[in-house]
């Protein structure tokens, strides 16, 4: 069989018709016989192009409200026959089945229908049967049939038809088959995940149609890829391509700042997925200045994120710092002009996109899946086990610190004063070590911890942490509680006039 094949016949049946007209006209110019059905047939007729109705080919009408149109041996025989198989050729002639060289078909928009909040009946009706069957058949028989399964491939198809006078190479047919199986497998995954939303069937299926090759992975000797629709979350306004590590930091930054949406201007600086500076102030410039003061050393090469528009005064201060990425819901024109002064600095305008409700990570020879930690500690859920109760300002700082703590690697201790991150101990094997690290760091940057508050991601099994905090000047503590030895910490706090509140929720982050 010749590796190159000239298209002489085509079946076209699509839901989306954008970009289809030039292809239909090109096929007509090439003398290709076109078969179609339903709305696509009308579309082709309206272009003034001859088209044969599938119903005329099969001698069978579209039935069951359009549910059954192309599911017929004369259609699938035309797609699946092997032209180098003599028996197939004889049967084609016997049953008067036409060869179908090209199949252009797409699928009902199942995912969009689910996302729209449509009722169950509408969602079920958007499960494509004929389309998915045509795609699988045509892609399977790529040696004899070209399958085009997405409108995103129309431009390339038109180019191939025009350049080669309708002749398509085996290499191109196989490449389009791979694309088609990508479409069909993704579609089936979306349907399964809809029916298995409660994970009653212990099976993990993940599919993402958009992806990009990164310069490298976590280190230069590792390959790296990102799979996801980055453009749905951000408008990239300036700068170099994001790296694997940039993307991890951006993810950490977005998740952290989500805790402060709708609040007063808040600015955070992150390094290696942890906040090294974070503050809330009446203006975004003041918030940035206070965040930077938290750790001006670690801020070098960091990821910056704001919950408010970045204006020119803020941008002028940021411009003095070497940073990899700046993220904000918007930038003033003057701020953009300033920040674009560094050609590699990445500027991202964040869009209001809902984050996934589940988290997935590789583990051993499989994967771990869990619900997102969607609990944000609030005053309504606190209990007050100590005699001394936090003041209003202390309570605000405690909840502020708890939000940061939730997004810091465990074991962690976070120290806050006047809605400014003083320091944190991150990723320590001992909670005592995390606390000492935080205190040492805060003191190194000249923070006065008298009246500061402390947040812990998990309970204290012993009173050592509250004692160390007390000696450093900490006046209030927020922690989950729940240790069988809670009373030891409570007793120490009562004896030393420290206010402590329990959240009842642990926030480990590994």
Of the candidates 26, 238, 272, 342, the residue annotated as catalytic is 272
Of the candidates 506, 464, 508, 501, the one whose C-alpha atom is nearest the C-alpha of residue 485 is 464
Long-range (24+ apart) CB contacts under 8 A made by 477-483 are 477/398, 477/453, 477/501, 478/377, 478/382, 478/398, 478/399, 478/401, 478/402, 478/453, 478/454, 478/503, 479/455, 479/503, 480/456, 480/504, 480/505, 480/506, 480/507, 481/383, 481/385, 482/506, 483/459
Burial of 315 (0-12, 13-18, 19+ CB in 10 A): buried
Of the candidates 17, 26, 140, 236, the residue annotated as catalytic is 140
Burial of 27 (0-12, 13-18, 19+ CB in 10 A): buried
Q: Under a CB-based contact definition with an 8 Å cutoff, are residues 347 and 326 in contact?
A: yes
Of the candidates 399, 442, 398, 409, the one whose C-alpha atom is nearest the C-alpha of residue 423 is 442
Query: Taking the CB of residue 277, how many other CB atoms lie within 10 A of it?
Result: 28
Q: How many residues does the chain have?
A: 510
Burial of 468 (0-12, 13-18, 19+ CB in 10 A): middle
CA atoms within 13 A on the CB side of 380: 2
What is the DSSP-derived secondary structure letter of residue 310?
A: B
207 phi/psi in degrees, rounded to 5: -145, 130
Both tokens of 416, joined, read 């806050």
Give dist(CA 16, CA 448) in Å, integer: 64
What is the DSSP-derived secondary structure letter of residue 151?
A: G
Q: Under a CB-based contact definition with an 8 Å cutoff, are residues 239 and 322 in contact?
A: no
Q: Which residue, chain included where needed, has tokens 């169950």?
A: 120
Q: Under a CB-based contact definition with an 8 Å cutoff, are residues 71 and 151 in contact?
A: no
Q: Which residue, chain included where needed, has tokens 């700042």?
A: 257
Burial of 498 (0-12, 13-18, 19+ CB in 10 A): buried
- Verify whether residue 272 is a known catalytic residue: yes
Residues 6+ apart with CB under 8 A from 211: 225, 226, 227, 228
Give dist(CA 255, CA 129) in Å, integer: 39
- Verify whether residue 140 is a known catalytic residue: yes
Q: Catalytic residue positions?
A: 140, 272
């Amino acid at each position: 069989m010749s590796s190159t094949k000239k298209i002489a016949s085509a079946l076209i049946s699509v839901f989306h018709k954008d970009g289809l007209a030039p292809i239909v006209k090109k096929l007509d110019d090439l003398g290709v016989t076109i078969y179609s059905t339903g709305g696509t047939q009308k579309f082709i007729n309206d272009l003034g192009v001859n088209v044969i109705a599938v119903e005329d080919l099969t001698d069978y009408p579209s039935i069951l409200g359009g549910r059954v149109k192309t599911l017929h041996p004369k259609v699938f025989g035309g797609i699946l026959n092997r032209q180098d198989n003599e028996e197939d050729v004889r049967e084609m002639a016997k049953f008067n089945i036409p060869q179908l060289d090209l199949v252009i078909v797409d699928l009902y928009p199942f995912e969009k229908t689910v996302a729209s909040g449509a009722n169950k009946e509408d969602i079920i009706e958007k499960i494509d049967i004929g389309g998915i069957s045509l795609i699988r058949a045509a892609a399977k028989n790529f040696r004899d049939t070209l399958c085009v399964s997405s409108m995103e491939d129309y431009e390339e198809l038109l180019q191939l038809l025009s350049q080669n006078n309708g002749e398509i190479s085996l290499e191109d047919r196989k490449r389009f088959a791979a694309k088609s199986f990508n479409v069909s497998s993704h579609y089936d995954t979306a349907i399964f995940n809809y029916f298995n939303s409660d994970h009653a069937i212990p099976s993990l299926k993940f599919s993402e149609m958009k992806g990009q090759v990164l310069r490298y992975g976590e280190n230069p000797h590792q390959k790296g890829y990102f799979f996801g629709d980055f453009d749905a979350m951000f408008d990239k306004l300036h700068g170099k391509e994001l790296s694997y590590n940039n993307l991890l930091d951006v993810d950490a930054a977005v998740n952290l700042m989500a805790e402060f949406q709708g609040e007063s201007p808040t600015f955070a600086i992150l390094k290696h997925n942890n906040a090294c500076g974070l503050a809330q102030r009446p203006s975004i410039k003041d918030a940035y200045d206070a965040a930077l003061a938290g750790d001006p050393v670690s801020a070098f090469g960091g990821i910056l994120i704001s919950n408010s528009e970045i204006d020119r005064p803020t941008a002028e201060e940021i411009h003095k710092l070497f940073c990899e990425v700046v993220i904000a819901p918007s930038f003033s024109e003057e701020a953009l002009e300033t920040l674009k002064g560094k050609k590699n600095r990445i500027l991202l305008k964040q869009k209001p996109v809902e984050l996934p409700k589940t988290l997935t990570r590789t583990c051993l020879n499989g994967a771990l899946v869990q619900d997102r930690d969607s609990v944000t500690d609030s005053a309504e859920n606190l209990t007050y086990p100590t005699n001394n109760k936090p003041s209003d300002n202390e309570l605000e700082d405690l909840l502020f610190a708890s939000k940061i703590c939730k997004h810091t690697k465990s074991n962690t201790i976070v120290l806050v004063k006047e809605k400014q991150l003083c320091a944190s101990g991150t990723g320590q094997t001992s909670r005592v070590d995390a606390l000492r690290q935080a205190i040492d760091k805060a003191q190194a940057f000249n923070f006065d911890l008298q009246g500061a508050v402390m947040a812990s991601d998990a309970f204290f099994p012993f009173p050592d942490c509250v004692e160390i905090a007390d000696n450093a000047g900490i006046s209030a503590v927020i922690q989950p509680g729940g240790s069988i030895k809670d009373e030891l910490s409570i007793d120490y706090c009562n004896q030393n006039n420290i206010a402590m509140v329990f959240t009842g929720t642990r926030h480990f982050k590994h």
